[in-house]
Amino acid sequence: MLVLCPKKLRENWTDYLATNNSEMNPLREDRFGYTVLSHTDLSREKGKVGDIDLARIEWGNYDLVVIDESHNFRSASRNKTAGGRRSRYERLMDEVIKAGLPTKVLLLSATPVNNDLSDLKAQLDLISADRGDGFIDLGVPNLGTLIGGARRRFADWAKSGSRDAGELLNKLPPALFGLLDGVTIARSRKHVERHYAASMEKVGGFPKRAAPESIFANIDSQGGFPAFEDVDAAIGKLELALYGPLTFVLPEYRAHYDKGGNFDQANREKYLIAMMKIGFLKRLESSVSSFRLTMDRMIARIDQRLGDLDSFDATAAIDTPPPDEIELDDELEEAFEVGGALKYNLAHIDRAAWKAALTRDRDRIAALASEARNVTPDRDAKLARLKEIIRAKADKPTTNRDGEANRKIILFTAFTDTARYLYEELRPLARECGLQAALVTGDGCKATFGPARFQDVLVNFAPRAKRRALMRGAETGGEIDLLIATDCISEGQNLQDADLLVNVDIHWNPVRLIQRFGRIDRIGSRNATISMVNFWPTEDLNRYLRLKDRVEARMALVDLSATGDDDLLNARAEADGDARWRDEQLLRLNPKSAIDIFGGAAG
């Protein structure tokens, strides 16, 4: 048996291995034995995971594969570079599922659909070993035909402006529901409460969800920083020539660069530039500090490229820098990884034109950086509001079902820069309020109490949920109350000791918000009520969402990386309908709306 899980969740599975002899294993008598690897290990040809040598592993020797958080395999990328590099999905399909022993697949996910029903198809293909007729016994002669029809009907429903779920159910093919009944086990919150009442009484029920609170914090408390919309306009004028060298390739060399890995190279660079601009806005929405650091890094990169051009070497080969300012999600990151960066010969480029464009970008970015640099922490309006929330929680804590005061808060942000900034700026306030604070990002952890290691930080923040009392040698002299984290902990973690979650920035996909809130919205919580606070960049939510919709071109890019032959215009049309649907989900976070966006599967 092979278990594939996100790297940060590996210990959730290794605790149950008999060979680990863990005191935390409630199933010791079952003597479970299986291999635990991370999703990312599928991208590695060598190296070790514990005692497992990836260069010698027999991938086809597993008759059961369990994929935790399987929505991470929702993109069925089927493209290779000239060197033969494959996506994680393709390696999983070809070397684990199709090769060797007949393999059964168990998928675990509370959010199997992210953008589109094609997400679901990609995961179902893992179950059927990519056989179109793999579900014929459930009345589905061809899975691709069924999902394609369902996608078109969903798009028609979304375009109609209707938000009647019953109407959608009537439009979707009945065979889709028959298929889902046959291959899935889904338990909504209401279903669990209705049919498992006895167990609920034993373990404790779900907490009540308070209406979300929306905060529209300014960027600069002194009003000196430009309005969000004005910054959007300034970013829109950027050429970002650093990421579009193909534009400056001389005509006689253009054909050499027209194809690059997954995508037509011109489209690849065009989408990358568009997403970079969106990434800049997202960083500004997150924190003015993150925005300033991003602008400074861009200036440094442009200066480096200008230096390359000034010291021109006719034999030099350059490529575009990594798009790390946009923190790509799994689908897009893998699309760009598999496509690979195309190298350019400087002798093939109109260097004078490129240098002029880079200089224009540098001047505009420097102006934005200067504006951001003026907003010091004492002028940061969002930081001030966060301090108010923390102080109020410390001074007037809620009380849980056991009569205990609860001062615990989770601050979620999409960006490591913001998380680090908040930790450094909020740590003195936490100390003043008698709270211990911690930082968790994909790059590491910090803590004012206990070891600054990933698992230790989470255990000390949620000692009840993580069963700290059963751990020999664990810290017992205190707890962490303020946890500042990125989305590296938005999946699979039980942190329900806390009853307040703050979204410092709003992720444009509501699925991510659901995953974040799911860390504290869990069965058995000792909190009677849980709350969520959302920071928005502007009170004009409709204008914000119109700005947000520009990122929906990402879906067309993902389609290109997945199949290479989808109709771009149709992909965009479908994305438009889906975008409107998700816009409405985001608007439901407004406290004026009584609609619950968290009505999905439990867990």
Q: Do 515 and 508 meet the contact criterion of CB atoms below 8 Å apart?
A: no
Count other C-beta atoms under 10 Å from residue 332's C-beta. 20
Compare 537 and 447 and report the one with higher pLDDT.
447
Report in angstroms the alpha-carbon separations of 497 from 207, 413, 480: 11, 19, 11
Report the chain's mean pLDDT, rounded to a whole number: 82
| Residue closest to 92 by CA, chosen among 129, 49, 117 | 129
Secondary structure of residue 22 in the 3-state scheme: coil
Which pair of tokens denotes residue 64?
């059961």
Which pair of tokens denotes residue 453?
């290691």
Largest Cα–Cα distance in the chain? 76
Count other C-beta atoms under 10 Å from residue 546's C-beta. 11
Q: Which of 307-311, 492-496, 592-596 has the lowest mean pLDDT?
A: 592-596
Bridge partners (DSSP) listed for residue 380: 220
Query: Residue 184: which residues within 8 A CB-CB, separation 6 or more?
Result: none
pLDDT value for 326: 55
Count other C-beta atoms under 10 Å from residue 509's C-beta. 17
pTM over 0.85: no
Q: Specify which of 60-74, 301-315, 503-517 reaches the highest per-range mean pLDDT.
A: 60-74
Q: Do 598 and 517 meet the contact criterion of CB atoms below 8 Å apart?
A: yes
**DSSP conformation class of 588:** T
Which pair of tokens denotes residue 409?
């808060």
Query: Residue 2: which residues within 8 A CB-CB, separation 6 or more?
Result: 34, 35, 37, 62, 64, 65, 66, 96
pLDDT band at 550 (very low <50, low <70, confident <90, very high): very low
pLDDT band at 542 (very low <50, low <70, confident <90, very high): low
Compute, in degrees rounded to 10, the torsion defined by CA atoms 322, 328, 332, 338.
40
End-to-end CA distance of the chain: 24
pLDDT value for 118: 85
pLDDT value for 580: 55
Q: Do 466 and 494 meet the contact criterion of CB atoms below 8 Å apart?
A: yes
Q: Which of 184-188, 320-324, 448-452 has the lowest mean pLDDT?
A: 320-324
pLDDT more than 70, % of the chain:
80
| Residue closest to 385 by CA, chosen among 227, 539, 536, 230 | 536
pLDDT value for 536: 84
Q: Which of 12-16, 505-509, 568-572 has the lowest mean pLDDT?
A: 568-572
Q: Which of 73-82, 260-269, 330-339 has the lowest mean pLDDT?
A: 330-339
Q: Note the pLDDT tens digit of each residue in 363-383.
A: 999 999 999 999 999 999 999
Report in angstroms the alpha-carbon separations of 516 from 53, 267, 499, 505: 34, 33, 13, 12
Q: Which helix (H) or strand (E) holds 411?
A: strand 409-412
DSSP string, 26-91: TTGGG----EEEEGGGGG-SS-EETTEETTT--GGG-SEEEEETGGGG--------TT----HHHH
Mean of pLDDT values over 344-352: 88
Report in angstroms the alpha-carbon separations of 348 from 245, 344, 477: 10, 7, 65
Cα–Cα distance measured from residue 476 to residue 495, given in angstroms and rounded to the nearest whole number: 18
